Chain A
Amino acid sequence: MISLTNAILFLLLAPVIGGLVSGIDRKLTARMQGRVGPPILQPFYDVGKLLEKENLVVTSSQNYYILSYIVFIVVSGALFFAGGDLLLVIFAFTLAHIFLVLGAYASYSPYSFVGAERELIQIIAYEPMIILSAVGMYMVTKSFFVNEIAASELPLILYLPGVFIGFLMVFTIKLRKSPFDLSTSHHAHQELVKGVTTEFTGPNLARIEIAHWYENVFLLGFVYLFFAFNPVIAIVAIIIAYLLEILIDNTFSRVKWQFTLKSSWIVAGMMGLVNLGVLYYLAGVLV
């Protein structure tokens, strides 16, 4: 039932795909801004460089928190691609981010603290919507197992359009893109220094970056589930969703955390809960 091959493939391929996606992202962003932009392989150069640097830590517990962060991100992603229980995947995924927050809190730096608090706010903002997505998928397919959801012939997107819109909203938060790049960002927003990653240097920062690649591939996999009835449409949907994120990233400025929290909950409530309510009602009527 659980596919070990898929999990191993995820372990090996996800950093490659994640890094390439990140490189294409930076190139497209540069083109949108009228610049030439870095090479596509630039994210790999960055991580390679970070691994060559000195690991300067404030407290050595930071190292273990970051190790736990990457391990749990990888576990949640591997479990997802192996076809495991979606709820367990989401819990492991949340736990991973809690480790990142703890790592930032461990460093006694004001910038790091601000980043950590904002990361917590982001978790509060996106968590309801991700759980609603899982519940929505359960209501349609009667299963929390990813392999059964993916094998389902039902077009999930037609049953869960509201949930999908809500998911796209939190997708922006998760990819650390404007307007919701509160805790840290890939661009030079210098007023926060670097938010949650401020106090991580060299190899630790490289681990955070690699974990982010794994995370992105996992999230793209989540988008896939909505369109799993037809793999071709699903791949096209993933590409369109990501291009849309890049466009949003480049056209919006960063909002305040209050707005992030309110808007993501309102969208989760309006789109997600109403969608689920309609599904529930229809199920009652049809049966």
Chain B
Amino acid sequence: MTFLKKSPWLLHYDASSCNGCDIEVLACLTPLYDVERFGIINTGNPKHADVFVVTGGVNEQNREVIRNIYEQIPEPKVVVAVGICATSGGIFRECYNMSGGIDQLIPVDVYVPGCAARPESIIDGIVKSLEILEEKRIQMKERARQIKQGRSPGGGER
């Protein structure tokens, strides 16, 4: 069954974003766009989340926080980088304290560029990420089956 695609819960983290993209992420929850009609809920808790939505780039202050949140999300999970800063560092790219986009730190599955990214494109990005989420679920199941049979799960990214 594919319940995962029908009920993706988001966790939104503002990593040194200018708040432009955050406002747009929150705009998706308003009555105009109402993402809850797709079963999407903005949870405040990484342990309940399926989709990790990050705005803004990685800097020295939030490096540990992003990694910590990412590791607290149970498998299967996807990361959506929203806004140009999250995808590549954007105009802050050259700053002395910036490492660049989120993919410098954790694997990113979907990039949503834009400054700020529009609610339509954010919703589009999240819907794209659901396909990847489903693939990861099948992989996770396969791995669990292999471990059960006593075979090593093999290499590859977790």
Residues of A within 8 A of B (CB): 26, 30, 33-39, 42, 45-46, 48-49, 51-56, 111, 188-191, 193-194, 197-202, 205
Contact = CB atoms under 8 A, between A and B. Distances in A.
A194 B34 contact: no
A42 to B, nearest CB: 5
B36 A49 contact: no
Given A188-B41, A188-B43, A194-B48, A49 B31 contact: no
A194 B46 CA distance: 10
B138 to A, nearest CB: 11
B44 A188 contact: yes
Contacts, number: 83
B64 interface: no
A185 to B, nearest CB: 11
A89 B36 CA distance: 36
**A interface, over-half SS:** loop
Contact of B47 (A38, A48, A56, A189): A56
A139 to B, nearest CB: 44
Given A36-B37, A51-B3, 19 more contacts: A34-B31, A35-B36, A37-B36, A37-B37, A38-B36, A42-B7, A45-B39, A48-B7, A49-B3, A49-B50, A52-B1, A53-B75, A53-B76, A54-B75, A55-B74, A56-B72, A188-B42, A191-B44, A194-B47
Interface of B: 1, 3-4, 6-8, 31, 34, 36-39, 41-45, 47-48, 50, 72, 74-76, 137, 140
22 contacts: A35-B34, A35-B36, A35-B37, A38-B36, A38-B38, A39-B37, A42-B7, A45-B3, A48-B1, A48-B3, A49-B8, A52-B3, A53-B50, A53-B76, A54-B74, A54-B140, A56-B47, A189-B44, A194-B43, A200-B47, A201-B48, A201-B74
Contacts of B42: 188
A189 B74 CA distance: 21
A51 B6 CA distance: 13
A35 B75 contact: no
Q: Max chain B CB contacts within 10 Å: which of A49, A191, A193, A200?
A: A49
B50 A35 contact: no
Contacts of B44: 188-191, 193-194
A56 B50 CA distance: 13
A189 B43 CA distance: 9
Contact of A38 (B1, B37, B72, B76): B37
Nearest to A43: B7
